[in-house]
Structure 1
């Protein structure tokens, strides 16, 4: 099966109501699972008194400062080599350039996420087994 056909299958499953698709053809095994969507609850809005919002400076303070390690691809983030093992890093850990920080699984391939910086991990911005997008910040290192 060609890559183009696999991508068409993934697209077809993502646009359908199918939540789980599994296929085996020769030595190729394809297993596609959709992330469960959370249903939004809509409530009737009540009038609220106008409030003043602090300047944008307070919003910037909430954003962790430092070098951000971003996702190089779309996939599922894992913070440890296996569910039974300890995470690669935790907040406060010292890391070296090239050290493995986590794994992103894409199309059943495990891709190690390595630090571009030496320093201390000040924030981990994603949860274990969370879907991540290309370019999404994962870690902050100072």
Structure 2
């Protein structure tokens, strides 16, 4: 991959609004990470992803079913309840599948009671066949893991509580 191709890749990843991106070709590995500004709303790239994010089936996209909006309201209330316990929450930067370890037979990155440093890998969220490392935004002790291994997570969903 030459310099122009790398620049084009960076531009396209930025334009897509991705927060984490990894690319491997032969012995070349490119990893990009971009922090999300607070309050920014990320819209999934496809209608299917959007439907999954709000819990609406493909047959009810035209508004025939309101279960999706009720599901979003329930998730919102659950997130508020989680936030009231105190501590710092590490939230998912994207929609995907949550993994506690780098492979099925490996030890989890962290457990409840572990002391973590800012920047330490806590878990992985897989999105569109890309493995995105979730790093701690805080120094402290992990007091709660709010998601089960291999569970689907939404953008902004609390994953960990760190005191």
Asked if TM exceeds 0.5, the reply is: yes
What's the counterpart of residue 81 of structure 1?
102
Q: Distance in 1 between matches of 2:161 and 2:119?
A: 15
Cα separation, 2, equivalents of 1:62 and 1:135:
12
User: Size of the alignment, in residue pairs?
Assistant: 95
Higher share in helix? 2
2:91 matched to which residue of 1? 70
Could you list the runs of 5+ residues in structure 1 that have no partner in the other structure? Answer: 17-59
> Residue by residue, what CA displacement relative to the aligned partner does 1:41-77 show, whole Å, maximum 9, x if unpaired?
xxxxxxxxxxxxxxxxxxx699532000000000000
Q: CA deviation at 1:7?
A: 3.6
Distance 2:98 2:128 in 1: 13
Asked if 1:127 corresponds to 2:148, the answer is: yes
Distance 2:127 2:114 in 1: 27
Runs of 5+ consecutive residues of structure 2 not aligned to the other structure:
1-15, 17-44, 52-56, 60-80
Shift >4 Å, 4+ stretches: 8-12, 60-63
Distance 1:71 1:101 in 2: 11
Asked if structure 1 preserves the Cα contact closer than 8 Å seen for 2:94 and 2:154, the reply is: yes
The structure with the larger Rg is: 1
Please give the per-residue CA displacement for 1:72-92, whole angstroms capped at 9, x wherever unaligned. Answer: 000000000000000000000
Q: What does residue range 54-65 of structure 1 map to in structure 2 within 5 Å?
A: 63-65=84-86
Q: CA RMSD in A?
A: 2.9
From 157, 160, 163, the counterpart of 1:136: 157
Is 2:101–2:108's contact at 8 Å kept on the other side of the alignment? yes
